[in-house]
Structure 1
Amino acid sequence: MSSPVQVPYQSFVKIDLESSSSRYMQIANQLINAIQRGFLISGTKLPGTRSMASILGEHRKTIVAAYDELDAQGWVEVIPNKGTFVLSEKKSKKNRFSPISNNQLAQYPKETGYSFEKTNLLDNPFDYANCELIFNDGTPDVRLNQMDQLSRVYSSNIKRKNNQKKFGYYNQEGSEYFKENLSNYLNLSRGLHISKNNLLITRSTEMSVYIISQILLRPLDSVVVASLSYFSVNMIFQKSGARIFQVPIDDEGIDVEAVRTLCMKQPIRMLYLTPHHHYPTTVTLSAQRRIDLLALSSEYGFVILEDDYDYDFHYDKSAVLPLASSDTEGMVIYVGSFGKSLAPGFRTGFVVAPENVMREMRKYLGIIDRQGDVLMEQVLGEMIEEGEIHRHLKKSLKIYQQRRDEFASLLKNELGDYVDFKIPTGGLAIWTEWDSSINLMKLAAMCQKNQLFIPRTLLYQSRSVTAMRLGFGHLNEEEMRESVEVVKKVLR
């Protein structure tokens, strides 16, 4: 056990000077109460009598008498030359009795004494299982991360004297060094024309969308999303009070004419889309539809919230530049995540927007994330400046492309009678469409019994669609084969 002095005894041992009970019995009874409530767990070493007397401001003889009472009742064990230790009920050899009735025993309340608003909108959609194999919606393989190099850069930054002063105060603005390097990186890789003043650094894409929704959305505002869209973002929109309207998607991305029809019927405040690889179907928004959406946004005055969640992962050709790179009217807010190919603790979210709305975003960020993470941002900025991010991404992309091709081959050869799909040009997942006679929930349940976990957030089944978004990035070749074999076995 840790040092007994660290336990806040004075917080739960209080002497009532007006009580008819003696001081040592009050101390003994309250220590028993602390043991019953779990404040003092089995094996805890109580302070010596002199130390406890100093802590409680009592005479040592009073503490000695209290410890003797605890020993007599079987709550503690006195070991010569070692100290006094709390006993569990199983270890106690003495018949104990509790001087405190059940009514007197203090317990933390199970429910509040006040009412509050409850919501089902934010119920956790994620589920977990302890299986040997897991499908997800497309995440990198942490085993490919260069942890030695990351830890070296992190350690060197925290040891530098000129950095230490930066960590001693709250900094909601983030690292200026990181924002300068990130803005340069985004300009080069995504064709943007921004400065550090157009950047907001957040913890995640979800935090970015939350801040944006707080500023731009009001109750009953209309937000347009694709008929299949990212559920977490939809939850944020709904919680803000917005009305969500869905429009169809096809092989060229979101249906622009359907968006136009909605605009003609009612005011639209925002359009949310993932044009690079649509979530969850992975299709890329065509060039013509990008032009049409920008024109439509300018004509009807709605905000385009562009989520580029996996821009860095493209294989077959150069990535299509985001809508934000062609926005001249200030209608696009661009959000994404940086360092997705790195370990989770080294990733960060960001928002790109004109400076006037950026000033409002920083106010909200200052409330929900005042301290920021300047150290991690310094590390990322250094990795950008030294080219480590580019080298690591270039190396890992070759591996992910091989895994994509291997996974596609397995799906075609082993499950071709049940599933149809198109090989995506990028990303870490494949959108698979299944025979409509297959119950995907039952399929997932049976796979789980065979040590393959398929979360319900990957399943899309209705009258019009029977599909799964299956991530391959986190699986090596052997794990892919085993996972596909489990599905094949269950289907047969």
Structure 2
Amino acid sequence: MFPYKTSLHINRRSKEPLFLQLTNQFIHLIKEGTIPSGTKLIGTRSLAELLQVHRKTIVACYEELVMQGWLEAIPKKGTFVPKDLPFLKSEDYRGNEISNHTDQIGFSYYKSNLHHRTIEKKDDWMYINDGVSDGRLTPTEDLAKIYRRISSRKNITKHLGYISTQGNDQLRNVLANYLNETRGLSITKEHILITRGSQMGIWLSAQLLLKEEDIIVVGETNYASADITFLHQKAKVLRVPVDENGIDTVALENICESQQIKGVYVTSHHHHPTTVTLSAERRICLLNLAKKYSFAIIEDDYDYDFNYNHAPILPLASHDVHNNVIYIGSVCKTVAPVFRVGYLIANKEFVNEASQIRGLVDRQGDALLELTFAEFIESGDLDRHIRKVHKVYEKRRDLFCDLLREELNEYFSFKKPKGGMAVWLTLNKKYTWLEVTRAARKYKLEIGNFSRYDMAKTNHNAIRMGFARFNVAELHELIKRMKLTMIDLANLEKFA
């Protein structure tokens, strides 16, 4: 019998809920093969007695593991580790064990050798977005108080000159601790480069990874700004299908068998634009492929904090033992886009190179703003803000999806997203988004650049439609204008 009592540990002083502590420990044990595929786990009541916790804690842990794909519950038989779950390889090509904290980089890259349509918004119009936060919920007063307090300190002048291109030391230390605790990473400040948002992280990664004709793989549907960044480097962008489990790793492996690729770009938590989550099986497969074929994974974790059906799934970076992952994120989505504070996390050597290139286009960030966010995070204010808006956005998601089904079911199809701030909305094939865009302007509704959701030109006829930025009254008004638009189009088709 597996030694549960000595292998699982509970820290009752930790802010992390007990069921999540156990969940993450189980994931680690399954991932490294200590609990092999096919293993039947001990019953919830027995495990609760062993660990001296409430049975509900174990039930919640098992349910979370089943939800994430690390376990499967078979009626009348028990709870098992899936038999087809691949083992995450942790040795080199000679079979030697690799340390989880090795600084040996897992991929090649080029070192530095450097020789959107804007819409003028009107007050009485409504504008579709692809999933952004509601600025009215931003804790501007709290942030302003911190900023004023920092600015009035006697020693503030030392922060008013040039600082490291990697960003403010205090923020980097705070972020390292915060991300280690909330995302299961194992990093120090040396692994962090502060950026002005996720896009800067994508651009810097492309600068170091890609030159002309180098291959990078993305989803058949993908974040358009990332595609454009890679194409600007004159890289060759290859696409793999995306289904309800995320990018197709079998298709990716087929590419790797015939061509040398430099990287894979993935939004693993909620795929952009379709909102699906990369499954546990495919996460491990992707990491194994990166090790086997020595490519980088650019993991853009743009809305980690907003998952409504279960706890946020730990990023690929938390399972990376070979330094293949470049982890990118920001506070722009969580707090407000105006606060350009993001981060790029990778091997120390890669971070140093990226910081040198960053210095050529943006000498440094805003030191006072970075200090403000260091205190905002360290004080717990960020977590409190996340908990507050999480509840608001979940209610808005539910209302938006209900209204879509009730009022627009004959025109659109969609699946209720598990998280994020947008719905992937597929238009009935009888209509086109160009027609909808033109017709919607009669009702002062702007759809925006719908073509960016189909860079591969597959004619899937879908776009992302954000709900988080609209309050209850605005969501009703949005649906009303959409319905009037579609009724007009239906009448035109009827009398054509």
TM-score, scaled to structure 1: 0.73
Kindly indicate whether residue 239 of structure 2 is the aligned counterpart of residue 246 of structure 1: yes
Deviations 1:336-391 (A, max 9, x none): 11253223333412101011111111111222221321100100000111100000
Is 1:192–1:324's contact at 8 Å kept on the other side of the alignment?
yes
Alpha-carbon distance change, 173 to 302 in structure 1, aligned in 2, over 3 angstroms: closer
Residue type at the aligned position of 2:141: D
In structure 2, relative to structure 1, the CA distance for the partners of 1:343 and 1:161 (3 Å cut) is: farther
Counterpart in the other structure of 1:71: none
Query: Which of 461, 466, 470 does residue 471 from structure 1 map onto?
Result: 466
CA separation in 1, counterparts of 2:186 and 2:120?
42
Distance 1:183-1:452 versus aligned 2 partners, 3 A rule = same
3-state DSSP of counterpart to 2:190: helix
Number of residue-to-residue matches in the alignment: 369
The CA distance in 2 between the partners of 1:185 and 1:215, in whole Å, is: 27
The structure 2 residue matched to 1:450, chosen from 431, 443, 454, is 443
Equivalent runs, 1:334-373 vs 2, <5 Å: 334-373=327-366
Cross-structure match for 1:490: 485
TM-score for both structures, normalised by structure 2: 0.72
Structure 1, residues 114-155: CA drift from partner, whole Å, max 9, x if none?
Answer: xxxxxxxxxx34545535211100000000112211111111
1:326 matched residue in structure 2: 319
Q: Which amino acid aligns with 1:475?
A: F
Q: 1:400 aligns with which of 393, 402, 416?
A: 393
Unaligned regions of 5+ residues in structure 1, if any?
A: 1-123
Aligned with residue 280 of structure 1, among 267, 273, 284: 273
Equivalent-residue separation in structure 1 for 2:310 and 2:263 (angstroms): 30
Report % sequence identity.
Answer: 39
AA aligned to 2:254 is T
The within-5 A match list for 1:46-445 is 124-125=116-117, 127-130=119-122, 131-445=124-438
What do the CA deviations read for 1:61-102 (whole angstroms, capped 9, x no partner)? xxxxxxxxxxxxxxxxxxxxxxxxxxxxxxxxxxxxxxxxxx
Distance 2:343 2:325 in 1: 14
The structure having more radius of gyration, on CA atoms, is 1
2:299 aligns to what SS in structure 1?
strand
Which residue of 2 is the match for residue 118 of structure 1? none
Give the SS at the match of 2:338: helix
Q: 2:385 & 2:313 partners in 1: Cα distance?
A: 21
The answer to whether the 8 Å contact 1:271/1:303 transfers is: yes
Q: Is the 8 A contact 1:135 1:453 kept in 2?
A: yes
Measured after TM superposition, the shift of residue 171 of structure 1 is 3.8
The match for 2:69 is none
Deviation of 1:463 (Å): 5.5
Unaligned runs of 5+ in 2: 1-115, 488-496
Cα deviation, residue 281, structure 1 = 0.1
Alpha-carbon distance in structure 2 between the residues aligned to 1:458 and 1:143: 29
Say what the alpha-carbon RMSD is for the aligned residues.
1.5
Q: Counterpart in 1 of 2:491?
A: none
Q: Is the 8 A contact 2:218 2:265 kept in 1?
A: yes
Contact 2:332 2:338 (C-alpha < 8 Å) held by counterparts? no
Following the alignment from structure 2 to structure 1, what is the Cα–Cα distance between the partners of residues 380 and 439?
46
